[in-house]
Amino acid sequence: AQSVTQPDIHITVSEGASLELRCNYSYGATPYLFWYVQSPGQGLQLLLKYFSGDTLVQGIKGFEAEFKRSQSSFNLRKPSVHWSDAAEYFCAVADLNDMRFGAGTRLTVKP
Amino acid sequence: DTGVSQDPRHKITKRGQNVTFRCDPISEHNRLYWYRQTLGQGPEFLTYFQNEAQLEKSRLLSDRFSAERPKGSFSTLEIQRTEQGDSAMYLCASSLTREDTQYFGPGTRLTVL
pLDDT tens per residue across span A93-111: 987 667 889 999 999 999 9
> 3-class SS at A77?
strand
CA distance A102 to chain B (A): 6
Does A36 sit within 8 Å of B105, measured CB to CB? no
Rg (CA), chain A: 13
CA distance A21 to B66: 36
Q: Per residue in A59-91, is it b (16+ CB within 10 Å) or e — as a string?
A: beeebbbbbeeeeebbbbebeebeeebbbbbbb
Environment class of residue A58 by beta-carbon count within 10 Å: exposed (0-12), middle (13-18) or buried (19+)? exposed
Strands A64-68 and A73-78: antiparallel
At residue A2, the pLDDT reads: 75
At residue B2, the pLDDT reads: 66
- Confidence band (pLDDT; 50, 70, 90) for A1? low
Closest CA to B79 of B19, B13, B15: B19
Q: Alpha carbon of B105 to those of B33, B90, B111: distances in Å?
A: 10, 9, 18
Q: Which residues of B touch A98 (CB under 8 A)?
A: 33, 45, 48, 56, 58
Q: Which residues of A touch B42 (CB under 8 A)?
A: 4, 90, 92, 101-104
CA distance B108 to B7: 7
Does B44 sit within 8 Å of A101, measured CB to CB? yes
- Confidence band (pLDDT; 50, 70, 90) for A51? confident
Option in A49, A97, A102 nearest B42 (CB): A102
Between A32 and B99, where is the model more confident? A32
Angle (nearest 5°) at CA A40 between A35 and A44: 30
Option in B40, B43, B99 nearest A101 (CB): B43
Q: Which residue of A has its CA nearest to B9?
A: A41
Q: Per residue in B76-109, is it b (16+ CB within 10 Å) or e — as a string?
A: ebebeebeeebbbbbbbbbbeeeeebbbbbbbbb
Q: Which residues of B touch A89 (CB under 8 A)?
A: none
Does A43 sit within 8 Å of B104, measured CB to CB? yes
The tens digit of pLDDT for each residue in A24-38 reads 998 867 788 999 999
Closest CA to A99 of B20, B37, B6: B37
